[in-house]
Amino acid sequence: MKNRLQHVLCELDAMERTARMRSPLHALDARAKLLVTVVFLVTMLSVPLSRLSELLAFAVFPIVTAAMGGLNFGTVFRRSLIVLPLVAFVGVFNLFYDREPVFRIGTVVVTAGWVSFLSIILRGLLSVQALLILIGSTGYYRLCRSMQRLGLPSVFTTQLLFVYRYLYVLIEEALAMRRARDARSFGRRSYPLKVWGTLVGQLLIRTFERAELISRAMLARGFTGRIPADVFESPAWKMRDTVFLAAWCSALLLLRLFHPVETLSTLIR
């Protein structure tokens, strides 16, 4: 458990360091990247489950944007696999519900349930990859700040930022309790359920107390409920932001409306 918690802290810290890199994607306004990601999610998720080839074409977006940001797509793909059990559980019932044959691969019959199952998995992976690239090239603070600048309620954006920040508080308190328990356990590895219940209760109380101290410190420094400007925030919208937004939105809409993959396969046949 201790190693897993430390691994999570390292992953969060690595994501923050990645957001401070310099690349063409990092230099763009956070609002442009956020709007493009929203357009990608809307167009990609609106593709019918039966159009698996069209969904595969949308995989170009995370690959290209990861290259623009100097991010390792292999790492992004590996991190996106965390959602695989959830989406697989959602789509596995299609295998038993929809048994209509679609095509054959040799002697193997591929049913519509398999196509929709793979489409659901691909949707989940592409969605998480797009969000990871957005956060990795922007940072969670600037992302929430860009939502606020786009007109979203400050209550919503502030709560999102607090949820992320309090992850650090929760993990740090859990690590401190784990070290204290190890120091008093005399090498014991397993504990009864009653002890674990006490530990969870103490963790909840300690995080509430820590959160109260953080809230008082923020109010003492003039916090008004809105996310203040970041020192690295772009002062104004630039032409490159407009070009990035227009180019990607046009490409994604064309890909969704005109089905170029199906058209190309028809021409090949």
Taking the chain (269 residues) in runs of 10, the rounded mean pLDDT of each run is 67 78 88 94 90 87 93 90 88 78 71 83 93 89 87 85 81 78 68 72 80 84 78 74 94 86 67
Interatomic CA distance for residues 202 and 130, integer angstroms: 37
Please indicate, yes or no, whether residues 41 and 103 belong to a single structural domain of this protein. yes
> What's the pLDDT score for residue 256?
87
Residue 190 exposed, middle or buried by CB count within 10 Å (0-12, 13-18, 19+): exposed
pLDDT at residue number 125: 93
CB atoms within 10 A of CB 34: 19
Q: Which two three-digit tokens encode residue 24?
A: 């063409």
pLDDT, residue 91, reads: 82
Residue 62, number of CB atoms within 10 A of its CB? 26
183 and 82, same structural domain?
A: no
Domain count, the chain: 2
Query: Quick one: pLDDT at residue 49?
Result: 83
- Is 1 within the bounds of a domain? no
Please report which residue ranges of the chain form alpha helices under DSSP H: 2-19, 30-45, 52-57, 60-68, 73-80, 84-91, 94-97, 112-138, 140-149, 154-185, 193-220, 239-258, 260-268
| Same-domain pairing of 125 and 250 | yes
- Structural domain contains residue 196: yes
How far is C-alpha 178 from the chain's CA centre? 28
101 domain-assigned: yes
Same domain, 216 and 238: no
**Do 142 and 161 have their domain in common?**
no
| Whole-prediction pTM | 0.82
Say yes or no: 94 and 128 in one domain: yes
Say which residues have a Cβ less than 8 Å from residue 128's Cβ, sequence separation at least 6.
Answer: 79, 80, 82, 83
Residue 167 counted as domain residue: yes
Residue 4 lies in a domain: no
* Ramachandran bin of 226, using left for φ above 0, alpha for ψ from -120 to 50, beta for the remaining angles: beta
Residues 88 and 163 in one domain: no
104: part of which helix (H) or strand (E)? Answer: strand 101-105
Is 217 found in the same domain as 118?
no
Judge if 249 and 179 occupy the same domain: no
Check residue 187 and give its pLDDT.
Answer: 61
Does residue 97 sit in the same domain as residue 223?
Answer: no
User: Is 25 domain-assigned?
Assistant: yes
Residues 121 and 21 in one domain: yes
Residue 11 resides in a domain:
no
- The pLDDT value recorded for residue 251 is 92
Q: What is the model's pLDDT at position 169?
A: 78
Q: Are residues 53 and 87 in the same domain?
A: yes
Q: In this structure, are residues 100 and 111 in contact, taking their beta carbons and an 8 Å threshold?
A: yes
Q: Which domain holds residue 172?
A: 153-230
